[in-house]
Amino acid sequence: MGGSNLHPDGILTPRWTELRFHPEQSRLWKSTARFRMVVAGRGSGKTELAKRKIVMSLSSRIPGCQRPMYFIAGPTHSQIKRQYWDDIKAMIPRGWVRGRAMESTLHIRTIFGSELYLCGLDAPARIEGNQWCGGVVDESSDVKPGAFKLSIRPALSEFNGWCIRQGIPKRLGVGAAEFQKAWEDARSGRTPDSDAFWWESADILPPGEMMAVRSELSREDFDEQYRAQWVLTQGALFSSFSVVDSVRPCAYDPFSPIMVGCDFNVENMAWVLGHRKGEELEIFDMIWLHNINTQTTLSALWRKYSEHKGGWKFTGDATCRTRKTSALDTDYILIYNDERFRSVGRKVVMGDSNPMVEDRVAATNHLLCDAGGKRRCFVDPSCGPLIHDLRMRAESNTDPVLTHPTDALGYLVWHLFPLRYGFDRVGPGRVEIRRGRSVSGKEVSYAR
């Protein structure tokens, strides 16, 4: 991003010091996405980039708009003033400013006809009543839920205004859940004209500073504040899951077997589709349908992958043999007898019973991240319901919509990478725990 400290007219102020950007920051600066979701660690430059983007926008011409208006908003009026006001005044060349900067209203007019306002969202109505051409929402985890959707987003419509929403991924902020979902939706492509960006403090801050703060903070606080991790709340089942580290593009391979983990349910049918790559599992797609039966789900799967050449393997919930989603037969027999899948080669594997929930969860957590920090299970960003379930599911959860995607993943993980805890006595009072194949439940295979 060399030269990003230059104004369009070549005018400089001393406040525009030279910056060196790493690739993710450069991608953010060059992004043309209308909505840019930024999750980054403390002291890592996201606020500085936002200041420069806003100032650079003040000289832009907006078709059909005689008075382009821009905003910088945050959780409270005093907070946004402290973080931005003095720097913004120092960054805008005096020749750009019409009159004086308005200290009482945090408002600047320019010779280009544009205006900039700093707004606290402790009273979201402050930002209403105008149509904005662009803006920044900082410290988004602390912004009141609904402020963007109800007050900001409608005010960006007339001039197709853009917005950068950024912050630390706080686990306890009042708006953290809403901010996290918006970032995940942008990252997975579920929201139009949006993009997501992420970097941690170590990409920017010197190693000595990182060592100092690491010694002063708990693991959870350090991961949240400086590693920019969405830290799961206490009691979460899938504690090894990380939105940053576990979610990555997982390519579909037409010549590799598709492993299908099935959770059968009339209300919410969840099937996860993956490829085994050695000791890793990549979930590249999922089927997530509501109020439907197994046969219809098979048809949806076939429509999507009828040209697949690598074969199929189905496994999943053993209790479907007693809890039917079909009035005619068990779910596995329906899969086994489906001529479309029989014709291209498929295998159906079913146990006599499901593993204990805690064993299935332990196997999934172990594959997501073992004690040595190695990750072997990855999920494509397009698998939104699975990602949401992995992130939110906790032991006390009673939401009937949750649990099905992670159950489907758990059945598949248990089949491919089961855990057995064997005990070998290696000395007086010493027991070694070893990992091996599960011996619980007889496995029944239907193969062509």
**Cβ neighbours of 160 (radius 10 Å):** 12
Encoded tokens for 353: 């019973």
Model confidence at 424: pLDDT above 70: no
DSSP 67-127: S-EEEEEESSHHHHIIIIIHHHHHHS-GGGBSS--BTTTTEEEBTTS-EEEEEETTSGGGG
Burial of 10 (0-12, 13-18, 19+ CB in 10 A): exposed
The SS3 assignment for 285 reads strand
Q: What is the pLDDT of residue 35?
A: 98
CA nearest to 141, candidates 109, 168, 103: 168
The pLDDT-based confidence of 329 (bands split at 50, 70, 90) is very low
The SS3 assignment for 377 reads strand
pLDDT tens per residue, range 29-55: 999 999 999 999 999 999 999 999 999
Predicted TM-score of the model (pTM): 0.61
> How would you label 195-232 residue by residue, b for 16+ Cβ within 10 Å and e otherwise?
bbbbbbbbbbbeeeebeebeeeeeeeebbbbbbbbbbb
Q: How far, in Å, are 54, 59, 163, 380 from residue 119 at the CA level?
A: 14, 21, 14, 37
CB–CB of 352/397 below 8 Å?
A: no
The pLDDT-based confidence of 169 (bands split at 50, 70, 90) is very high
**Average pLDDT for 268-283:** 95
Q: Scan for tokens 């949806």, then name that residue.
A: 300
Q: Scan for tokens 């990750």, then name that residue.
A: 375
Amino acid found at 274: G
Encoded tokens for 433: 């725990």
Q: What is the pLDDT of residue 54?
A: 96
Burial of 101 (0-12, 13-18, 19+ CB in 10 A): middle
CB–CB of 145/174 below 8 Å?
A: yes
Q: What is the pLDDT of residue 442?
A: 33
The pLDDT-based confidence of 218 (bands split at 50, 70, 90) is low
**Average pLDDT for 122-133:** 91
pLDDT tens per residue, range 57-90: 999 999 999 999 999 999 999 999 999 999 999 9
Model confidence at 4: pLDDT above 90: no
CATH topology of domain 23-225: Rossmann fold (3.40.50)
The pLDDT-based confidence of 395 (bands split at 50, 70, 90) is very low
More confident residue, 73 or 129: 73
Q: What is the pLDDT of residue 320?
A: 59
Q: What is the pLDDT of residue 330?
A: 74
Would strands 35-40 and 421-427 be described as parallel, antiparallel, or unpaired? unpaired
The SS3 assignment for 423 reads strand
Q: What is the pLDDT of residue 337?
A: 85
CB neighbour list of residue 210: distance below 8 Å, 6 or more residues apart: 201, 202, 226
Would strands 115-120 and 107-109 be described as parallel, antiparallel, or unpaired? antiparallel
Q: What is the pLDDT of residue 119?
A: 95
Q: What are the two backbone dihedrals, phi and then psi, of residue 107, each rounded to the nearest 5 degrees?
A: -135, 135
**Average pLDDT for 185-192:** 91
- Comparing 28-42, 183-197, 362-376, the range with the smallest average pLDDT is 362-376
The pLDDT-based confidence of 277 (bands split at 50, 70, 90) is very high
- For the chain, the structural domain boundaries read 23-225, 258-419
Most confident of 77-81, 291-295, 359-363: 77-81
CATH code for the domain defined by 258-419 = 3.30.420.280
Q: How far, in Å, are 18, 46, 178 from residue 181 at the CA level?
A: 34, 19, 5
Average pLDDT over the chain reads 84
Q: What is the pLDDT of residue 217?
A: 75
**Average pLDDT for 239-259:** 92
Distance CA 356, CA 408 (A): 14
